[in-house]
Amino acid sequence: MALVLDMVRIDPDRRPSAEMQRWHRDLAASVGVIPESTETNRDLLNGALRLSQILNGPRNHPRTRARAPRPPSERLTEVFQAAIAARV
């Protein structure tokens, strides 16, 4: 993916190499979707981002949104409460 980003940064309208197009087709096949047309580096990036979303889930989806970490004091309180409850 980093190479695709770099290629788009340098020349977004250039045709991607055969090796990069093969990488995109293989990735799409491993995900189980039909690869999109990759006429330009920009198209390749859009296709790669689409496949990444399929693999990792949408960024702002409630099930995939990262939760803010709880402070250590809150976690320790739960551990102590569980230990006290186990002794009773």
Round to whole Å and give the CA distance between 23 and 32: 14
What pLDDT does residue 6 have? 87
* Mean pLDDT, range 1-29, rounded to an integer: 90
Q: Dump pLDDT digits (tens) for 37-84.
A: 899 999 999 998 888 888 887 665 555 445 556 565 565 566 666 666
Find, among 38, 32, 29, 51, the residue nearest to 7 by Cα: 38
What pLDDT does residue 64 have? 45
Q: How confident is the model at residue 25 (pLDDT cuts 50, 70, 90)?
A: very high
Boundaries of every domain in the chain: 2-87
What pLDDT does residue 70 have? 59
Would you say 40 and 16 are in contact if contact means Cβ atoms under 8 Å apart?
Answer: yes
Would you say 53 and 27 are in contact if contact means Cβ atoms under 8 Å apart?
Answer: no
Number of neighbouring beta carbons within 10 Å of residue 16 = 23
